[in-house]
Amino acid sequence: MILIRLISMLPLGVLYVFSDLLYLVAYYLIGYRKKVVQENLANAFPNKSCAERKQIEKDFYRNFTDSLAETIKLLTMGKKELNKRFLYKNAYLIFDRVNKGEIVIGMCGHFFNWEGHLLTVSSEVQEKCETIYTKINHPFFEKLMFSIRSRLGAKITERKSFQRNFLKTRHLPRLIVLAADQRPNQMDIRYRTIFMNRQAAFFEGGEKLAKKFGLTVIYAYTSKPKRGHYIFEYHILSGPPYTDHSPHSITEKFISLVERNIEDQPALYLWSHNRWKNQAKTSKPENPTTSRKPRSK
């Protein structure tokens, strides 16, 4: 950890040199998860040419290695640099509600650089930010990521214990951050629908929480104007009163927003994650019918 902290103290420009080298190794030499990336892009963008998908593929690997360098830098990055590199718009949608004593749910997708986004927001609301995460199996990386995510005051809660803890803390105003596009384990699958032209399973904890306790749900649209700089624009995804009790309504809105974000910023999404793994092996969904159709882009 000491070595990582020393590396983190290097200027980000220097770390990007290592990112460039890592890109060459990951993409051209070892082809890190290249088969998964190519399959995901081919299914997500069937109407794009091979050349267009190849460019997205290369840009993705550039963003991927840059995000690794940026995440290491987050271990020691000051608040001034955080606010310079990770900008957010319409933040009042979150902060005003939290300051009024409300709980807000932030449902986000795996767009680069989500770790910088989390740290910047937590620097503003500190202990009033709670991030729900899945524990990393490797002890060193688990300790590293926990240190980064919590260093500016955010509360970090493992997914398995979140529901039990929420019942004890539902009176505490805060932002609860959920990576709602994460693939559930086999035992956790509750809902399946079409996502980027293929059937995919989704967690629905955020939707159930929002409807049961009347909470506002926020989505952060992600863009990257230039290297090392990101913009997160907040939008109200759903809010009380929840008169529409149709199942999966919030989850479907979230999926649509993620798809739109992917279409606009395709190289920012985490294509190396096998999001659509074991499609045919999952259990039967609660509601096997869906009005969502595969996308043509």
Neighbours of 226 (CB within 10 A): 6
CA distance 273 to 14: 27
Residues in contact with 218: Cβ distance below 8 Å, sequence separation at least 6, in sequence order? 93, 94, 104, 105, 106, 107, 234, 235, 236, 237
Name the β-bridge partners of 132.
Answer: 157
Q: What is the pTM of this model?
A: 0.91
Query: Of how many residues is the chain composed?
Result: 297
Give the DSSP H or E segment for 191.
strand 191-195
Q: What is the pLDDT of residue 90?
A: 96
Q: Is the peptide bond before 113 cis (omega within 30 degrees of 0)?
A: yes
**What are the start-end ranges of the H helices in 187-276?**
205-213, 249-264
Q: What is the pLDDT of residue 283?
A: 40
DSSP letters along 112-156, please?
TTHHHHHHHHHHHHGGGEEEEEPPPSSHHHHHHHHHHHHTTS-EE
* Local confidence pLDDT in tens for the 297 residues of the chain: 889 999 999 999 999 999 999 999 999 999 999 999 999 999 999 999 999 999 999 999 999 999 999 999 999 999 999 999 999 999 999 999 999 999 999 999 999 999 999 999 999 888 899 999 988 888 999 999 999 999 998 999 998 899 889 989 999 999 999 999 988 877 666 789 999 999 999 999 999 999 999 999 999 999 999 999 999 999 999 999 998 778 999 999 999 999 999 999 999 999 999 888 765 444 444 444 455 666 655
Q: What is the pLDDT of residue 190?
A: 74
DSSP letters along 218-237, please?
EEEEEEEEETTEEEEEEEEE
Asked if 218 and 106 touch (Cβ cutoff 8 Å), the reply is yes
Instruction: Encode 163-190 in three state secondary structure.
Output: HHHHHHHCCCCEEEEEECCCCCCHHHCC
Q: What is the pLDDT of residue 273?
A: 92
Q: What is the pLDDT of residue 293?
A: 67
